[in-house]
Chain A
Amino acid sequence: MDTFQIVALLPYQPPFLFVDVLDDITEHGVTGRYTFKSSEFFYKGHFKDQPITPGVILTETAAQIGLVCLGIFLLKDKISQNNKPEIGLSSNQMDFYIPVAPGETITVVSQKIYFRFHKLKCNVKLYNAKKELVAKGTISGMIK
């Protein structure tokens, strides 16, 4: 399964798809990118007259790339267009360091901690175009 097939199998669509491309994926982890368009729906309200990417959206981006894409890759034999993944976020703990403005490209680097009994747990790090650490944390979800 190549990275384009993985992205095509994601159960999201705009305005809540936060994966553009995967640069690398192995059974141990994944690296992928998303560019936040100035037209994203949440910039109108977060904040008034001062658009900044919400932390929950950065967490969602990390989860879509770091957890769901990796989960689809790990389950590749069982997942197809006719058998889409069932997913659910179970927990996350994130720290945020640098604000992300409209138009920025964020790279998510995710490393698997474990994948057992349908639960995938990963360490995630988010970097901006200057390779500065924007956020990091741990995210877990159930996927099958």
Chain B
Amino acid sequence: MDKEALIASLKTIVKPYIQDENAFNNLNENTDFIADLKINSANLVDIILDVEDMYDIEIDNDAMEKMLTVKAAMKIINTKLNEQQ
């Protein structure tokens, strides 16, 4: 999936859970969900469930533990989407 489109769709998913508006406005590949956006671990689970719904993929425990930055999330989403093809 196209990188810009992926970042844009991730932004809509994370928006309800962010606590740092500036970090959200400057969201990029290197943004860390917890350190930068100040999302708590419970809401990180909600984000992952929303990602599963939006892309129709299943994220396992190993992948979840790695999904801490935008870059890592994009990599996991693309890997799962490619596995389905």
Contacts and interface: CB of A to CB of B under 8 A. Distances in A.
Interface residues of B, number: 11
A88 to B, nearest CB: 8
A41 to B, nearest CB: 29
Contact of A140 (B42, B48, B61): B42
A63 interface: no
Contact of A116 (B40, B41, B43, B49): B49
Nearest to B61: A117
Contact of A142 (B42, B61, B64): B42
B42 A114 contact: no
Interface string A131-144: 00000000011100
A119 B45 CA distance: 7
Contacts, number: 24
Interface string B5-48: 00000000000000000000000000000000000111111101
A91 B42 CA distance: 8
Say what secondary structure dominates the interface of chain A: strand
A90 interface: yes
B34 to A, nearest CB: 13
B45 A116 contact: yes
24 contacts: A90-B40, A90-B41, A90-B42, A90-B43, A91-B42, A114-B49, A116-B45, A116-B48, A116-B49, A117-B44, A117-B45, A117-B48, A117-B61, A117-B64, A118-B41, A118-B45, A119-B41, A119-B42, A119-B45, A119-B46, A140-B42, A141-B42, A142-B41, A142-B42
Interface string A99-127: 00000000000000010111100000000
Nearest to B45: A119
